[in-house]
A = this chain, B = another copy of it.
Amino acid sequence: MSPVAEVPRSENPYRPSISREGLSPTHPVTATDEYGDRREVHIAGESPLTLYVDEREIVTLMTLGTHPEALALGYLRTQRFIESLDRIRSVVVDWKTESVKVTTWNGVDGWDEKLKKRIVTTGCGQGTVFSCTLDSIYESRLPEVTIRQSTVYGLLDSIRKHNEIYRRAGAVHGCGLCKDTAVQMFVEDVGRHNAADAIAGYMWLEHMTGADKIFYTTGRLTSEIVMKVAQMGIPILLSRSGVTNMGLELAGELGVTMIARAKGKHFLVYHGQMTFDAQPARLA
């Protein structure tokens, strides 16, 4: 995955036709609080969305449903079912049948092999479908970068305005695609990896490079999320949560800068380079 120049949407010759069927993310319900009082509160939506490619059923994703088209594209991208956006003719979501139908121009290469491989050699990691094409990820070349501490703090400030579903309803994880201290896209979803996949799909649609981006997530940095971020070509991963040893090992091998437990002024750099240009005052 070599970095490509960013192309404005209108100049993009390969943009498939896509529906725009995002759902409203939260639902009002009545619950009883600790005083025995009935209260109207909001809960996160969760809908099954079955993905078909050229009328073949691939997978059912449980999703909040706000970005179903980008999610379907991102899933096909991060699972490496389809290698290039220009193979895709249309993406059509229909919530009545809880389906997203992806149509290609000329079919999918090695389709049977891909489906078989996915199932037989790796199956479902119960947390995500574990990519069967782990080898190919080592072909990704991420740029060497050094992040500034001031950028981390500026970005954490920007992020605070974005996790609105979590604040209203809980039960979601959020992921942000960021450039310097700006958040370019923020997606929340009930599915652990759906938010990341929706960003992967969005980047594909917009022909965006990952090389100058930072990927933020509220979730834990396991091996799977590190792989997805590396696949998107993004060299820096920032998380509010912790890391696992396999996530850290992969970050080292793939050259992903990994900053975790980032809250307020605190964070830990587990891998990568930082310029400490905004150190907080030490407590006496």
A contact set with B: CB distance below 8 Å: 27, 29, 31-36, 39, 41, 43-48, 50, 57-62, 75, 119-130, 149, 169-172, 190-194, 197, 220-224, 241-248, 260-261, 265-270, 274, 276, 279-280, 282
What CA separation (Å) do A273 and B220 show in the bound complex?
Answer: 34
Q: Max chain B CB contacts within 10 Å: which of A36, A50, A247, A268?
A: A268
Determine how close the nearest CB of chain B comes to the CB of A17; give it in whole angstroms: 25
- For A63, the closest partner residue in chain B by CB is B126
Is A222 a contact of B267 with CB atoms below 8 Å?
A: no
The reply to whether B282 and A35 contact each other, CB–CB distance below 8 Å, is yes
Instruction: Please state the number of chain copies in the assembly.
Output: 2
CA distance A45 to B249 in the complex (A): 11
- Residues of chain B with a CB closer than 8 A to A127's CB: 61-62, 127-128, 190-194
Do A266 and B33 touch across chains, with their CB atoms under 8 A apart? yes
Closest B residue to A275 by CB, please name it: B36
**Which residues of B sit under 8 angstroms from A260, Cβ to Cβ?**
170
B191 pairs with A62, CB closer than 8 A: no
Please state if B169 and A242 are interface contacts (CB–CB under 8 Å): yes
- Rounded to whole Å, the gap between the CB of A136 and the closest CB of chain B is 18
Q: Please name the 9 residue pairs, one residue from A and one from B, whose CB atoms are nearest each other, closest first.
A: A170-B242, A171-B242, A46-B244, A124-B124, A59-B123, A46-B246, A31-B268, A171-B220, A32-B269
- Cα separation A149 to B36 with both chains bound (whole Å): 10
Contacts of A274 in B (CB 8 A): 32, 36
Indicate if the CB atoms of A247 and B46 lie closer than 8 Å. Answer: yes
User: In the complex the two chains form, what is the Cα distance from A64 to B114 in whole Å?
Assistant: 28
A62 to B122, Cβ gap below 8 A? no
User: Once the chains are docked, how many angstroms separate the CA of A274 from the CA of B47?
Assistant: 29
Give Cα distance in the complex from A244 to B45, angstroms: 5
In the docked arrangement, what's the CA distance between A223 and B171, Å? 12
Cβ contact within 8 Å between A270 and B29: yes
Contact A279 B34, CB 8 Å, known A126-B192, A171-B244, A191-B127: yes
